[in-house]
Amino acid sequence: MLQIAVCDDNIDELSNMVQFINLYRSSKHLNCEYAVFTNGFNLVSALVKGKRFDIYCLDIIMPGFMGIDVAKEIRDFDKTAPILFFTSSLEFALESYSVKAKEIKQQYLNYQMEGE
């Protein structure tokens, strides 16, 4: 089963990311589950305790512990898992490559499924 970590400090955006994952999961008939984190500290704490995920979906701009910094911590535990950033600002797009992010998606998703 595919394990997905979803991390965003904004509850509305967190809900949007979860909704997007659920729509994608349904459309592709994927067997997956996700864990929701409202800050990077809790996600990193789960990693320290031994929890691992197959995919990480992160907001970039979070108070106290920016998504880029969370991604750097993730890379200490997992060098290869895809990291996807969801953000309302593309200001940190170039920096995301330093953690080998898979993709950056601008928030306010429209939920339209794209063909592969």
What ranges do the domains of the chain cover?
A: 2-106
CATH of 2-106, one of 3.40.640.10, 3.40.50.2300, 3.30.70.360, 3.40.50.300: 3.40.50.2300
CA distance 87 to 80: 21
Average pLDDT, whole number, for the chain?
Answer: 81
Check residue 101 and report its DSSP letter: -
3 state SS of 3: strand
> Is pLDDT of 55 > 90?
yes
Is the pLDDT confidence value at 8 over 90?
A: yes
Inform me whether the pLDDT recorded for 43 exceeds 80: yes
Rounded Cα gap, residues 109 and 13, in angstroms: 9
Stretch 54-67: mean pLDDT: 90
Cα 15 to the center of its chain, rounded Å: 12
Average pLDDT over residues 35-62: 95
